Each structure stands twice: as structure tokens, then as C-alpha cells.
Amino acid sequence: MKWSDKNTVSFVLLLHTILLGWSAARHSPVVDEVGHMPSGLSHWKLQRFDLYNVNPPLVRTVATLPLHLLDVPINFDGYQILPKHRSEFMIGSGWITSHPDSFRWNFTISRWACIPFSLLGAVTCFLWARELFGARSGLCALCLWCFCPNILAHGS
């Protein structure tokens, strides 16, 4: 791979990171993030995986690591382990209500922690396409990943 190709790949990845970081800070939390936040914090603070157990815990655990390290307080009083009882949404709503000045910043930090997942996907697409079809195809696959509206919407 030539030096100019390395610069191009680096520039596209940097631009992708900036777009994801801006999106993470700009957009309001979506409905499922209200449940993912307390469940991720419960993994760290309570050492349990009961909340939001309908999805694998990796992403929400990584997303809430910075909040755990910052010791963001959360009240788990409504925590229940009952079939079909989704207490993570009640706990999340209570957390947002009790932290009106900081909840947006906390969601932003958590979203930033997930940007490496999207960068990993971008690099994987680039390397795979480059190996199969050459450097230009790798750059094309990289750009398709990094500027895809779905990836930009969900990557942060």
C-alpha cells in the first residue's frame, strides 16, 4: 500500500470518527438507550446481567465503562427480576429525571465509547475488500462503510 493510500485511509477514518462524535453529542437519546444505560451500569455496579437480557451485554457494558469509572450515581430501587418485567426502562427514566443537567453528557460519553466498534467494522471492510479485489476496492468499501447513513446513525 502506497503512502498516499495510507493517508487517504487515515483521513476517511478520521472523518468518520468526527461525524460519529458529532452525532453522538448532537442527537437525543433514543428509547432503547434509556434501558441500555441502567442495564450497562448494573453490569458494573451490581455485577449482574439481568437487566435488558434480551440483547447481548458487550456493547452496553463497553458504553457504560466511562460512566462507571466516573462513578455516575444511579438508583436501582426498581430493580426486579421477573419474567416479562422490564425494570430497566423505569430505572432509566428515573435516572434521567434525577439528573436533568448531566444525562445528555453521560449519553454522549457512552456513545463515544462505542465509536471503536464502527472503526473496527470500517477497517475490516477495507482490509477484506483490498485482499479480495485490490487497493481501490478497499478504499471504495471503506468509504461505503464510513459514509453509509445507517452506519452513521447507529455507529455512535
Q: What is the pLDDT of residues 97-141, one digit of tens each?
A: 999 999 999 999 999 999 999 999 999 999 999 999 999 999 999
* Nearest partner of 114 among 72, 151, 145, judged by Cα: 151
Give residue 28's pLDDT. Answer: 85
pLDDT for the residue 1? 60
- pLDDT for res 156: 83
- H helices of 27-86, in order, are 31-45, 58-69
User: 3-state DSSP call for residue 74?
Assistant: coil
- Three cell numbers at 90? 423505569
Residue range(s) defining the domain that contains residue 105: 3-154
Cα separation, 105 vs 58, whole angstroms: 21
Residue 129 confidence (pLDDT): 97
- Percent of the chain at pLDDT > 90 equals 76
The pLDDT of residue 98: 92
Residue 85: the pLDDT is 79
How many Å apart are CA 33 and CA 154, to the nearest integer? 12
Contact between 93 and 34 (Cβ < 8 Å): yes
Closest to 57 in 3D by CA, of 66, 48, 46, 67: 48
Q: How does the average pLDDT of the chain come out, rounded? A: 92
- Give the total number of structural domains in the chain: 1
- pLDDT tens readout for residues 34-84: 999 999 999 999 999 988 888 899 999 999 999 999 999 999 888 888 777
3 — pLDDT class (breaks 50, 70, 90)? low
What integer pLDDT is reported at residue 115 of this predicted model? 97
